[in-house]
Chain A
């Protein structure tokens, strides 16, 4: 935990956008590691393993909070195809709205959990596509397409959130 705790906590913070949830997520992830220690395969990346646990826990938590199974966006559903209401009144984003002030964090909160995880792993954590595919349990092609779509959305959402914050009178 001494070796990987800080990295895991920061990844959890980036996913959740607030420290309280990041603490819970990190704690729960390490408890799962303790329980499933025997299922860890030597020779594989421990960090990828624990990131996968954090990603899955975060996804489960968001589903629970939303109350229904979270529907993934279909791969061909680009940001500009989404109804404006869906982009601006996402229940997940509303949960984050209570805790975040950063335009970037608000924009990230409007992505699907998988898109958010992919963007954070590629752009902030500097993980390779292969590592991301291992963490997300998907193919490299899926990583590429999720990343591309997520970035297209972020380039629309971040300026919009900045504009919104400017109107509401608090800075980024």
Chain B
């Protein structure tokens, strides 16, 4: 067995094998594709049969002729690489355009937008205490007062409160 393949010819058949049978096997023999037993029998036949040896020589000549016809190997032209890159880039662009066209179809974007709006609405109403205060000057002043009151006590706290109330009024008074 060679490469796990079963023998094509039993030993008894090969012993009685004619030159015609051997020649049918010569190509596989030349390519080392026969199982070990068949290979050995072809080899021994070739040792005793001049016409089959000539046949093998002709097969080797043919192989050499084929190899020489295409030697040396060619280099890959840069135009092929450029062509493949350009074609694949074009395909990627076409794919992106198709995707965009699909997403922009009302059948797709309308339900998606509806889902987003509903989800946002649910999230907002689920945590009303987390709504953020508007970032006005008054907000920052009040934050400052709360912070100051938590650190200090006594007159300064009271002064800060007065200052806040007065400050807001002052700030409002300065508005046109």
Q: Determine if A128 is an interface residue (Cβ-Cβ < 8 Å).
A: yes
> What are 14 A-B pairs with beta-carbon distances under 8 A?
A10-B74, A27-B83, A31-B87, A31-B88, A31-B91, A35-B91, A119-B66, A124-B70, A128-B31, A129-B31, A154-B62, A155-B62, A158-B62, A158-B65
Among the 9-residue stretches A40-48, A88-96, A140-148, the one with 4 or more Cβ atoms under 8 Å from chain B is A140-148
A interface, size bucket: 35 or more
Q: Which B residues from 18 to 52 make CB contacts under 8 A with A? A: 24, 27-28, 31, 33
Given contacts A6-B74, A14-B70, A129-B28, 20 further A-B contacts (CB under 8 A): A6-B75, A9-B77, A23-B80, A26-B76, A26-B80, A27-B83, A27-B84, A34-B84, A35-B91, A102-B69, A122-B31, A123-B63, A124-B66, A124-B67, A128-B3, A140-B5, A147-B27, A151-B62, A154-B62, A155-B58
Docked pose: A1 CA to B85 CA in angstroms:
10
Q: Determine if B79 is an interface residue (Cβ-Cβ < 8 Å).
A: yes
Please count how many residues in chain B sit with their CB below 8 Å of the partner chain's CB atoms.
Answer: 29
Q: Are B76 and A6 in contact (CB under 8 A)?
A: yes
Q: A123-B66, A124-B67, A147-B27 are in contact. Are A19 and B91 (CB under 8 A)?
A: no
Q: Determine if A49 is an interface residue (Cβ-Cβ < 8 Å).
A: no
Question: Nearest residue in A to B85 (C-beta to C-beta)?
Answer: A1
Question: Nearest residue in B to A5 (C-beta to C-beta)?
Answer: B76
Distance of A96 from chain B, by nearest CB (Å)? 13
Hey, which chain A residues are within 8 Å of B80, CB to CB? 5, 9, 23, 26-27, 30
Hey, which chain B residues are within 8 Å of A6, CB to CB? 73-76
Q: Which B residues from 52 to 97 make CB contacts under 8 A with A? A: 58-59, 62-63, 65-67, 69-70, 73-77, 79-81, 83-84, 87-88, 91
Q: Are B84 and A31 in contact (CB under 8 A)?
A: yes
Hey, which chain A residues are within 8 Å of B62, CB to CB? 123, 151, 154-155, 158
Hey, which chain A residues are within 8 Å of B83, CB to CB? 23, 27
Question: Nearest residue in A to B92 (C-beta to C-beta)?
Answer: A34
Q: Determine if A130 is an interface residue (Cβ-Cβ < 8 Å).
A: yes
Distance of B128 from chain A, by nearest CB (Å)? 48
Q: A31-B84, A144-B28 are in contact. Are A9 and B76 (CB under 8 A)?
A: yes
Distance of B91 from chain A, by nearest CB (Å)? 7
Q: A128-B3, A129-B31 are in contact. Are A5 and B81 (CB under 8 A)?
A: yes
8 tightest CB-CB pairs across the interface, nearest first?
A104-B69, A5-B76, A27-B83, A30-B84, A9-B76, A6-B76, A123-B66, A123-B63
